[in-house]
A = this chain, B = another copy of it.
Amino acid sequence: MKIRSRTIGGVLPSTIITLFMAVSLPGFSQAQEARPFRLVVHGGAGTILKESMTPELEKAYKDKLSEALLAGHNILKSGGSGLDAVEATIRILEDSPLFNAGKGAVFTNEGMNELDSSIMDGATLKAGAVAGVKHVKNPISLARLVMEKSPHVLMVREGAEAFARQNGIELIDPKYFYTERRWKELEQAKEKEKAEGMKKGPAREATPAKPSGNSTADRAGDDHKFGTVGAVALDRAGNLSAGTSTGGMTNKRFGRVGDSPIIGAGTYANNRTCAVSATGHGEYFIRSVVAYDISALMEYKGLSLKEAADTVVMDKLVKLGGEGGVIAIDKAGNIAMPFNSAGMYRGYVLEDGKVVIRIYKD
Protein backbone atom coordinates (compact mmCIF):
# COMPACT_ATOMS: atom_id res chain seq x y z
CA MET A 1 0.00 0.00 0.00
CA LYS A 2 2.90 2.32 0.68
CA ILE A 3 4.00 2.00 -2.92
CA ARG A 4 0.57 2.84 -4.23
CA SER A 5 0.05 5.95 -2.15
CA ARG A 6 3.48 7.21 -3.09
CA THR A 7 2.73 6.69 -6.75
CA ILE A 8 -0.62 8.41 -6.57
CA GLY A 9 0.84 11.43 -4.78
CA GLY A 10 1.92 13.24 -7.89
CA VAL A 11 -0.87 12.46 -10.35
CA LEU A 12 -4.29 13.82 -11.21
CA PRO A 13 -7.46 12.17 -9.74
CA SER A 14 -8.57 11.02 -13.18
CA THR A 15 -5.62 8.69 -13.42
CA ILE A 16 -6.22 7.04 -10.06
CA ILE A 17 -8.50 4.39 -11.56
CA THR A 18 -5.82 3.45 -14.06
CA LEU A 19 -3.35 3.26 -11.23
CA PHE A 20 -5.58 0.95 -9.19
CA MET A 21 -5.83 -1.30 -12.21
CA ALA A 22 -2.08 -1.23 -12.58
CA VAL A 23 -1.45 -1.82 -8.90
CA SER A 24 -3.78 -4.84 -8.99
CA LEU A 25 -1.16 -6.51 -11.17
CA PRO A 26 1.84 -7.91 -9.32
CA GLY A 27 5.01 -5.90 -8.76
CA PHE A 28 6.15 -2.28 -8.51
CA SER A 29 7.16 -2.05 -12.15
CA GLN A 30 3.55 -2.51 -13.18
CA ALA A 31 2.46 0.43 -11.03
CA GLN A 32 5.06 2.54 -12.80
CA GLU A 33 3.47 1.85 -16.20
CA ALA A 34 0.92 4.57 -15.61
CA ARG A 35 3.55 7.32 -15.50
CA PRO A 36 4.35 8.73 -18.91
CA PHE A 37 7.97 8.42 -20.01
CA ARG A 38 9.08 9.77 -23.30
CA LEU A 39 12.18 10.59 -25.27
CA VAL A 40 12.61 13.02 -28.14
CA VAL A 41 15.67 13.40 -30.35
CA HIS A 42 17.01 15.67 -33.08
CA GLY A 43 19.90 15.29 -35.46
CA GLY A 44 20.12 18.85 -36.71
CA ALA A 45 18.07 21.28 -38.78
CA GLY A 46 18.90 23.02 -42.05
CA THR A 47 18.51 22.86 -45.80
CA ILE A 48 17.50 19.19 -45.78
CA LEU A 49 15.55 18.61 -49.00
CA LYS A 50 13.97 15.36 -50.19
CA GLU A 51 15.29 15.95 -53.71
CA SER A 52 18.91 16.01 -52.53
CA MET A 53 18.56 12.85 -50.42
CA THR A 54 19.04 9.26 -51.60
CA PRO A 55 16.77 6.50 -50.26
CA GLU A 56 19.85 4.80 -48.79
CA LEU A 57 20.99 7.90 -46.91
CA GLU A 58 17.48 8.61 -45.67
CA LYS A 59 17.26 5.06 -44.36
CA ALA A 60 20.66 5.40 -42.67
CA TYR A 61 19.52 8.55 -40.83
CA LYS A 62 16.21 6.99 -39.78
CA ASP A 63 17.85 3.77 -38.61
CA LYS A 64 20.43 5.60 -36.51
CA LEU A 65 17.86 7.93 -34.96
CA SER A 66 15.68 4.89 -34.15
CA GLU A 67 18.61 3.06 -32.61
CA ALA A 68 19.44 6.09 -30.46
CA LEU A 69 15.82 6.54 -29.38
CA LEU A 70 15.41 2.87 -28.47
CA ALA A 71 18.62 2.86 -26.42
CA GLY A 72 17.24 5.73 -24.35
CA HIS A 73 13.77 4.19 -24.28
CA ASN A 74 15.10 0.96 -22.77
CA ILE A 75 16.70 2.96 -19.97
CA LEU A 76 13.50 4.89 -19.27
CA LYS A 77 11.36 1.75 -19.49
CA SER A 78 13.37 -0.02 -16.82
CA GLY A 79 13.03 2.98 -14.52
CA GLY A 80 16.34 4.63 -15.38
CA SER A 81 16.83 8.37 -15.18
CA GLY A 82 16.16 10.80 -17.98
CA LEU A 83 19.77 11.98 -17.69
CA ASP A 84 20.98 8.44 -18.38
CA ALA A 85 18.60 8.17 -21.34
CA VAL A 86 19.60 11.54 -22.79
CA GLU A 87 23.31 10.73 -22.44
CA ALA A 88 22.97 7.24 -23.96
CA THR A 89 20.90 8.56 -26.87
CA ILE A 90 23.32 11.37 -27.66
CA ARG A 91 26.38 9.09 -27.38
CA ILE A 92 25.00 6.93 -30.20
CA LEU A 93 24.55 9.99 -32.41
CA GLU A 94 28.02 11.29 -31.46
CA ASP A 95 29.48 7.90 -32.46
CA SER A 96 27.76 7.99 -35.87
CA PRO A 97 29.49 9.79 -38.76
CA LEU A 98 26.08 10.91 -40.03
CA PHE A 99 25.73 13.77 -37.58
CA ASN A 100 27.76 16.89 -36.82
CA ALA A 101 28.75 15.81 -33.30
CA GLY A 102 31.56 13.55 -32.09
CA LYS A 103 32.66 11.33 -35.02
CA GLY A 104 31.52 13.19 -38.13
CA ALA A 105 31.91 16.68 -36.63
CA VAL A 106 32.62 19.44 -39.11
CA PHE A 107 36.12 20.89 -39.50
CA THR A 108 37.30 24.31 -38.37
CA ASN A 109 39.22 26.65 -40.64
CA GLU A 110 42.40 25.13 -39.20
CA GLY A 111 41.26 21.62 -40.13
CA MET A 112 40.45 20.61 -36.57
CA ASN A 113 37.24 19.43 -34.87
CA GLU A 114 36.15 21.51 -31.89
CA LEU A 115 33.26 20.02 -29.97
CA ASP A 116 30.68 21.67 -27.70
CA SER A 117 28.08 20.00 -25.49
CA SER A 118 25.80 20.58 -22.52
CA ILE A 119 23.33 18.76 -20.31
CA MET A 120 20.79 19.92 -17.72
CA ASP A 121 18.80 18.21 -14.99
CA GLY A 122 15.30 19.67 -14.62
CA ALA A 123 14.88 18.32 -11.09
CA THR A 124 17.81 20.22 -9.58
CA LEU A 125 18.59 22.81 -12.28
CA LYS A 126 22.14 21.45 -12.22
CA ALA A 127 23.95 21.76 -15.51
CA GLY A 128 27.28 20.95 -17.14
CA ALA A 129 28.84 22.07 -20.41
CA VAL A 130 32.08 21.96 -22.37
CA ALA A 131 33.20 24.04 -25.34
CA GLY A 132 36.02 23.68 -27.84
CA VAL A 133 37.26 20.23 -26.79
CA LYS A 134 39.36 18.40 -29.39
CA HIS A 135 40.29 15.05 -27.83
CA VAL A 136 37.06 13.81 -26.22
CA LYS A 137 35.11 11.06 -27.98
CA ASN A 138 31.79 11.76 -26.26
CA PRO A 139 31.49 15.39 -25.21
CA ILE A 140 28.00 14.79 -23.75
CA SER A 141 29.52 12.47 -21.13
CA LEU A 142 32.15 15.08 -20.26
CA ALA A 143 29.40 17.70 -19.90
CA ARG A 144 27.63 15.36 -17.50
CA LEU A 145 30.86 14.84 -15.57
CA VAL A 146 31.27 18.61 -15.24
CA MET A 147 27.73 18.75 -13.84
CA GLU A 148 28.18 15.91 -11.39
CA LYS A 149 31.84 16.01 -10.36
CA SER A 150 32.75 19.68 -10.33
CA PRO A 151 31.35 22.86 -8.79
CA HIS A 152 31.34 24.40 -12.26
CA VAL A 153 28.91 24.59 -15.17
CA LEU A 154 31.10 25.48 -18.17
CA MET A 155 34.68 24.45 -18.94
CA VAL A 156 36.46 25.27 -22.20
CA ARG A 157 39.22 23.77 -24.34
CA GLU A 158 42.42 22.41 -22.74
CA GLY A 159 41.05 23.04 -19.25
CA ALA A 160 38.00 20.90 -19.91
CA GLU A 161 40.28 18.18 -21.28
CA ALA A 162 42.51 18.32 -18.19
CA PHE A 163 39.37 17.80 -16.11
CA ALA A 164 38.40 14.87 -18.35
CA ARG A 165 41.79 13.22 -17.94
CA GLN A 166 41.75 13.60 -14.17
CA ASN A 167 38.38 11.96 -14.03
CA GLY A 168 39.40 8.96 -16.05
CA ILE A 169 38.07 9.96 -19.47
CA GLU A 170 40.58 8.86 -22.07
CA LEU A 171 41.70 11.57 -24.45
CA ILE A 172 41.83 10.41 -28.05
CA ASP A 173 43.72 11.27 -31.21
CA PRO A 174 41.75 13.95 -33.10
CA LYS A 175 42.12 11.80 -36.23
CA TYR A 176 39.22 9.77 -34.82
CA PHE A 177 36.82 12.57 -35.79
CA TYR A 178 37.90 12.60 -39.45
CA THR A 179 35.31 11.82 -42.11
CA GLU A 180 35.88 12.35 -45.80
CA ARG A 181 32.49 14.01 -46.21
CA ARG A 182 33.23 16.72 -43.64
CA TRP A 183 36.75 17.28 -44.97
CA LYS A 184 35.32 17.85 -48.45
CA GLU A 185 32.81 20.30 -46.99
CA LEU A 186 35.69 22.27 -45.49
CA GLU A 187 37.53 22.28 -48.81
CA GLN A 188 34.37 23.44 -50.59
CA ALA A 189 33.77 26.17 -48.01
CA LYS A 190 37.33 27.43 -48.44
CA GLU A 191 37.07 27.30 -52.25
CA LYS A 192 33.86 29.28 -52.11
CA GLU A 193 35.36 31.82 -49.74
CA LYS A 194 38.38 32.20 -52.02
CA ALA A 195 36.16 32.70 -55.07
CA GLU A 196 34.13 35.30 -53.20
CA GLY A 197 37.33 37.01 -52.08
CA MET A 198 38.58 37.15 -55.72
CA LYS A 199 35.34 38.79 -56.79
CA LYS A 200 35.61 41.34 -54.02
CA GLY A 201 39.29 42.18 -54.46
CA PRO A 202 42.42 41.26 -52.51
CA ALA A 203 41.71 38.39 -50.13
CA ARG A 204 42.11 39.16 -46.47
CA GLU A 205 42.95 35.72 -45.19
CA ALA A 206 40.94 34.64 -42.18
CA THR A 207 39.39 38.06 -41.73
CA PRO A 208 35.64 37.84 -41.26
CA ALA A 209 34.24 38.36 -44.72
CA LYS A 210 31.29 40.43 -43.69
CA PRO A 211 31.19 42.92 -40.85
CA SER A 212 27.61 41.83 -40.48
CA GLY A 213 27.33 42.28 -36.74
CA ASN A 214 25.15 39.20 -36.30
CA SER A 215 23.06 40.26 -39.27
CA THR A 216 21.34 37.92 -41.64
CA ALA A 217 23.89 38.77 -44.33
CA ASP A 218 25.98 35.67 -43.69
CA ARG A 219 23.36 33.18 -44.80
CA ALA A 220 25.13 31.61 -47.73
CA GLY A 221 26.10 28.02 -47.09
CA ASP A 222 23.51 27.52 -44.39
CA ASP A 223 24.38 23.86 -44.19
CA HIS A 224 27.69 24.72 -42.59
CA LYS A 225 25.98 25.87 -39.46
CA PHE A 226 23.73 22.94 -38.70
CA GLY A 227 23.79 19.28 -37.75
CA THR A 228 23.81 19.47 -33.98
CA VAL A 229 22.26 16.53 -32.10
CA GLY A 230 20.17 16.60 -28.96
CA ALA A 231 17.71 14.74 -26.78
CA VAL A 232 15.09 15.59 -24.16
CA ALA A 233 13.38 13.15 -21.83
CA LEU A 234 10.62 12.76 -19.29
CA ASP A 235 11.42 9.80 -17.06
CA ARG A 236 9.16 7.68 -14.82
CA ALA A 237 10.11 9.70 -11.76
CA GLY A 238 8.60 12.72 -13.54
CA ASN A 239 11.97 14.39 -14.11
CA LEU A 240 12.81 16.35 -17.24
CA SER A 241 16.29 16.50 -18.73
CA ALA A 242 17.94 17.86 -21.86
CA GLY A 243 21.26 17.50 -23.66
CA THR A 244 22.91 18.83 -26.83
CA SER A 245 26.16 18.07 -28.68
CA THR A 246 27.74 19.62 -31.76
CA GLY A 247 30.80 20.16 -33.89
CA GLY A 248 29.74 23.73 -34.56
CA MET A 249 30.04 25.17 -38.06
CA THR A 250 32.27 24.21 -40.98
CA ASN A 251 35.29 26.48 -41.49
CA LYS A 252 34.71 28.19 -38.13
CA ARG A 253 37.40 30.50 -36.84
CA PHE A 254 38.44 32.46 -33.81
CA GLY A 255 37.34 29.91 -31.22
CA ARG A 256 33.73 30.60 -32.12
CA VAL A 257 31.25 28.96 -29.77
CA GLY A 258 27.57 28.59 -30.67
CA ASP A 259 24.49 27.97 -28.55
CA SER A 260 24.93 24.24 -27.88
CA PRO A 261 27.04 24.57 -24.70
CA ILE A 262 25.11 27.61 -23.47
CA ILE A 263 22.56 26.79 -20.78
CA GLY A 264 19.39 28.75 -21.57
CA ALA A 265 20.22 29.04 -25.29
CA GLY A 266 20.90 25.55 -26.69
CA THR A 267 19.84 23.47 -23.69
CA TYR A 268 17.46 23.96 -20.76
CA ALA A 269 15.46 21.73 -18.44
CA ASN A 270 13.20 22.59 -15.53
CA ASN A 271 10.67 20.23 -13.92
CA ARG A 272 8.28 23.15 -13.50
CA THR A 273 8.00 23.64 -17.26
CA CYS A 274 9.88 21.74 -19.95
CA ALA A 275 13.12 20.37 -21.37
CA VAL A 276 14.51 21.83 -24.61
CA SER A 277 17.39 21.11 -26.99
CA ALA A 278 18.01 23.44 -29.92
CA THR A 279 19.71 23.21 -33.29
CA GLY A 280 20.30 25.97 -35.78
CA HIS A 281 22.25 29.14 -36.45
CA GLY A 282 23.73 29.37 -32.95
CA GLU A 283 24.34 33.11 -32.82
CA TYR A 284 20.63 33.85 -33.17
CA PHE A 285 19.79 31.18 -30.61
CA ILE A 286 22.13 32.77 -28.07
CA ARG A 287 20.78 36.27 -28.65
CA SER A 288 17.22 34.91 -28.32
CA VAL A 289 17.97 32.79 -25.22
CA VAL A 290 15.85 30.22 -27.09
CA ALA A 291 15.63 27.27 -24.71
CA TYR A 292 14.90 29.29 -21.58
CA ASP A 293 12.50 31.57 -23.45
CA ILE A 294 10.22 28.58 -24.14
CA SER A 295 10.26 27.73 -20.43
CA ALA A 296 9.58 31.36 -19.46
CA LEU A 297 6.62 31.65 -21.85
CA MET A 298 5.09 28.56 -20.23
CA GLU A 299 5.79 29.59 -16.64
CA TYR A 300 5.07 33.31 -16.80
CA LYS A 301 2.54 33.59 -19.62
CA GLY A 302 0.76 30.26 -19.18
CA LEU A 303 1.36 29.12 -22.76
CA SER A 304 1.23 25.43 -23.62
CA LEU A 305 4.47 23.73 -24.69
CA LYS A 306 3.39 23.87 -28.32
CA GLU A 307 2.37 27.53 -28.13
CA ALA A 308 5.61 28.49 -26.38
CA ALA A 309 7.89 26.53 -28.74
CA ASP A 310 6.04 27.84 -31.81
CA THR A 311 6.21 31.43 -30.54
CA VAL A 312 9.98 31.25 -30.13
CA VAL A 313 10.90 29.21 -33.23
CA MET A 314 8.25 30.15 -35.78
CA ASP A 315 7.77 33.80 -34.81
CA LYS A 316 10.50 35.41 -32.70
CA LEU A 317 13.46 33.61 -34.31
CA VAL A 318 12.06 34.13 -37.81
CA LYS A 319 11.72 37.87 -37.18
CA LEU A 320 15.34 38.05 -36.01
CA GLY A 321 16.53 35.93 -38.96
CA GLY A 322 17.54 32.84 -36.99
CA GLU A 323 17.12 29.54 -38.81
CA GLY A 324 16.74 26.21 -37.01
CA GLY A 325 14.50 24.35 -34.62
CA VAL A 326 14.05 22.78 -31.21
CA ILE A 327 12.76 19.62 -29.62
CA ALA A 328 10.85 20.05 -26.37
CA ILE A 329 8.88 18.02 -23.87
CA ASP A 330 6.83 19.15 -20.89
CA LYS A 331 6.09 17.58 -17.52
CA ALA A 332 2.87 16.00 -18.85
CA GLY A 333 4.76 14.34 -21.68
CA ASN A 334 3.57 16.64 -24.46
CA ILE A 335 6.07 16.92 -27.29
CA ALA A 336 6.87 19.80 -29.66
CA MET A 337 9.40 19.76 -32.53
CA PRO A 338 9.01 23.07 -34.43
CA PHE A 339 11.61 24.20 -36.99
CA ASN A 340 11.70 27.09 -39.45
CA SER A 341 14.29 25.56 -41.80
CA ALA A 342 13.60 23.24 -44.75
CA GLY A 343 14.02 20.15 -42.60
CA MET A 344 15.04 18.79 -39.22
CA TYR A 345 16.05 15.23 -38.34
CA ARG A 346 13.74 14.47 -35.43
CA GLY A 347 11.77 11.76 -33.72
CA TYR A 348 10.33 10.43 -30.52
CA VAL A 349 9.43 7.22 -28.76
CA LEU A 350 6.44 6.69 -26.47
CA GLU A 351 5.82 4.22 -23.62
CA ASP A 352 4.93 1.35 -25.96
CA GLY A 353 8.25 1.59 -27.79
CA LYS A 354 6.73 2.90 -30.99
CA VAL A 355 9.27 5.09 -32.75
CA VAL A 356 8.31 8.02 -34.99
CA ILE A 357 10.98 9.64 -37.17
CA ARG A 358 10.55 12.68 -39.45
CA ILE A 359 12.97 14.62 -41.63
CA TYR A 360 11.07 17.07 -43.85
CA LYS A 361 8.09 19.34 -43.36
CA ASP A 362 5.23 16.88 -43.14
Contact = CB atoms under 8 A, between A and B. Distances in A.
Interface of A: 120, 124-127, 131-132, 147-160, 162-163, 166, 206-208, 210-215, 217-218, 253-258, 262-265, 268, 282-283, 286-289, 292-293, 296-297, 300-301, 320
Contact of A300 (B159, B268, B301): B301
Contacts of A256: 152, 154-155, 159
Contact of A158 (B152, B255, B282): B255
A97 B215 CA distance: 36
B125 A320 contact: yes
Nearest to A218: B151
Given A153-B214, A157-B255, A268 B296 contact: no
A286 B143 CA distance: 15
Nearest to A163: B254
Number of copies: 2
B151 A210 contact: yes
A146 to B, nearest CB: 8
B286 A289 contact: no
Given A264-B264, A287-B126, A155 B292 contact: no
Contacts of A208: 149-151, 163
Given A210-B151, A300-B297, A287 B127 contact: yes
Contact of A163 (B159, B253, B289): B253
A211 B286 contact: no
A156 B131 contact: yes
Contacts of A212: 150-151
A205 to B, nearest CB: 9
A263 B292 contact: no
Nearest to A133: B255
A149 B264 contact: no
A286 B154 contact: yes
A276 B162 CA distance: 33
B154 A257 contact: yes
A211 B148 contact: yes
Most-contacted residue by chain B among A147, A159, A268 (CB, 10 A) = A159
Q: Which 5 A-B pairs have the closest CB atoms?
A: A159-B255, A300-B300, A296-B296, A264-B289, A159-B254
Given A257-B154, A292-B292, A301-B301, A127 B211 contact: no
